[in-house]
Structure 1
Amino acid sequence: MFGGLRDEHGVPVTLTMGEITTDLSSITIRPAAGLGGKTWLSRRPAYVSDYGTSPEITHEYDRQILGERVTFLAVVPIVVREDVRGLLYAGTRGEAELSPEALEALVAESRRVAGELEIRDEVDRRVGLRDAQAVAGPETAERQRFRDAFAEMRIIARETTDPATRARIEALLDPSTGAVILTERQLDVMGLVAMGCRNAEIADRLGLGRETVKSYLRSAMARLGARSRHEAVTNARRAGLLP
């Protein structure tokens, strides 16, 4: 077994069990690369019965995996709110395949880890809100509920599969009366900045690299005419882009 959680470079293998070499820890899985990369894009478990000859996947990691004499290989994504946060692998050597019970256990473990990550995200969100309030000073509970509702509406608009619902919510969120226009990603980043999140936390939540977050933040600050994060949030609220 082996796997890991996603960082800004991909999914590095940080957990190994039953290995016979040290090469697995040199792997960093990227989208579309190998069985794990295929699973990353589909967000669904997958397996191959003969890893070395499978035509269904690319073979960037053959040296490390075949060095373990792996034949049957299964991988399950760790998914939090439709976002792949890590990958768990289980393989066998020789002709044996994983039993259905073992595959179910692998899926159950991925769900357990996903649940823990979701709890951690919520804790981080609340700590960020607390820290932001400490900097900005006290505000009414009504104002905070309004900001939470605004953030939730943005999430619903992005995730809904109903075009009519998305259009209605986006119309409510449309800051068309303001002179400043930010892209969707810039608004996502600024919304988390307003919550007090650091760049690393923003990158983790949005599934972006830290440098990408910095780029979005710099461009948003330029459009807002701001020289600091605090000034950018203030200007965005004055422009009606943030509650």
Structure 2
Amino acid sequence: MSAASPLLRPRDGDALRAELRRVAALGGVPVLFGGEIHEDTLLISEYYGLRTAGLRGLAVRSSSGLGGASMVAGRPLAVADYRNASSITHDYDGPVLSEGIRSVLAVPVLVDGQARAMLYGAYRTGAPFGGRAADLVVESARRLSEEFRIRDEVDRRLRMRDAQSAGGQVSDEQIREVHAELRLLAVTAPPPLQDRLRALADTLSGTGTEPGAGPGAATLAPRELDVLAQVALGCTNAEAAQRLSLKPETVKSYLRSAATKLGTRTRYESVSKARRLHLIP
């Protein structure tokens, strides 16, 4: 896992726990648990609806049990009768059966094709685990996959910034690329991450550090900054529109409104003025 950023990278387990609670609330699933994978071992750290302590902190090895098999296969696996299932090993029968669990679904959280975490949903009845409940667990795994991927990418880009702070050779152009990519990631990121991504982009641009950037200085909307960041990289309006999932006419509109606020006449003057005000790097 990537090194944590104190600003962006909250504990991944907290995001996992939030998804378990979401499934419990929307799907009425009585037992939910999961955790992060460290090397080839899953550590169950988050849970909902457990009656015993057997599954709490349990270490599940790859290829062992239903979760280990799902981890290796990289896809959801389920059994409707855990006690008698012949398709899995029974290394963890003690803690599973002590919970009265009979029907189980295990879903891996994949990041770049590798299992990063596991989610489990379970019933204490023999009804197959499927329908809306199964869809919710799979959807939660996908949401976590995207969130972890974005966090990893941001961590990678922050390491570039840290290299510059430590005296490494990182060019202004690289900083501008990182800034533009952070703002681009914010466009498609889950809502809880959007503000943090934009805040990180602002740290790269040094927003507010210009002596003349006090009260009365130009304030651009997030989308205006998104467009200017792409233009600053040399993108045409059409290219900026494609990257930001906007129409070219919308990009032009944002550029016009930014120019009005900045008191500039061309897109290049707008980029130059925005840089002087430390709105973009």
In 1, Cα distance between equivalents of 2:166 and 2:57: 42
- In structure 2, the gaps of 5 or more residues are 1-31, 177-281
TM-superposed CA distance for 1:112, in Å, is 0.8
Query: Is structure 2 residue 82 aligned with structure 1 residue 59?
Result: no
Q: How does 1:84-233 map to 2 (within 5 A)?
A: 84-141=115-172
Correspondent of 1:78 among 93, 109, 113: 109
In 2, Cα distance between equivalents of 1:137 and 1:40: 38
Correspondent of 2:99 among 33, 52, 68: 68
Q: Secondary structure at the match of 2:55?
A: helix
- In structure 1, the gaps of 5 or more residues are 146-243
Aligned residue pairs, count: 146
In 1, Cα distance between equivalents of 2:148 and 2:54: 27
In 1, Cα distance between equivalents of 2:33 and 2:82: 15
Show CA shifts across 1:30-87 (max 9, x none): 1101011111111000101111111111111110001111111110000011010000
8 Å contact 2:107–2:120 — kept in the other structure? yes
In 2, Cα distance between equivalents of 1:92 and 1:139: 53
Q: Secondary structure at the match of 2:146?
A: helix
Q: TM-score, normalised by structure 1?
A: 0.56
In 2, Cα distance between equivalents of 1:127 and 1:143: 12
Q: Secondary structure at the match of 2:118?
A: strand
AA of the residue aligned to 1:66? L
Correspondent of 1:4 among 35, 44, 63: 35
- If you compute each CA radius of gyration, which structure gives the higher value, 1 or 2? 2
Show CA shifts across 1:134-154 (max 9, x none): 223444356789xxxxxxxxx
Root-mean-square deviation (CA, aligned residues, Å) is 2.1
8 Å contact 1:48–1:72 — kept in the other structure? yes
Q: Secondary structure at the match of 2:165?
A: helix
8 Å contact 2:80–2:127 — kept in the other structure? no
Runs of 4+ aligned residues of structure 1 deviating over 2 Å after TM superposition are: 94-99, 136-145
AA of the residue aligned to 2:136? A
Percentage of identical aligned residues: 36
Q: Secondary structure at the match of 1:26?
A: coil
Query: Is structure 2 residue 87 aligned with structure 1 residue 50?
Result: no
In 2, Cα distance between equivalents of 1:19 and 1:97: 19
In 1, Cα distance between equivalents of 2:174 and 2:49: 53
8 Å contact 1:49–1:72 — kept in the other structure? yes
AA of the residue aligned to 1:48? V
In 2, Cα distance between equivalents of 1:100 and 1:139: 51
Q: TM-score, normalised by structure 2?
A: 0.49
8 Å contact 1:31–1:37 — kept in the other structure? yes
In 1, Cα distance between equivalents of 2:151 and 2:120: 23
In 2, Cα distance between equivalents of 1:109 and 1:25: 21
In 1, Cα distance between equivalents of 2:130 and 2:112: 28
TM-superposed CA distance for 1:123, in Å, is 1.6
Q: Secondary structure at the match of 2:70?
A: helix
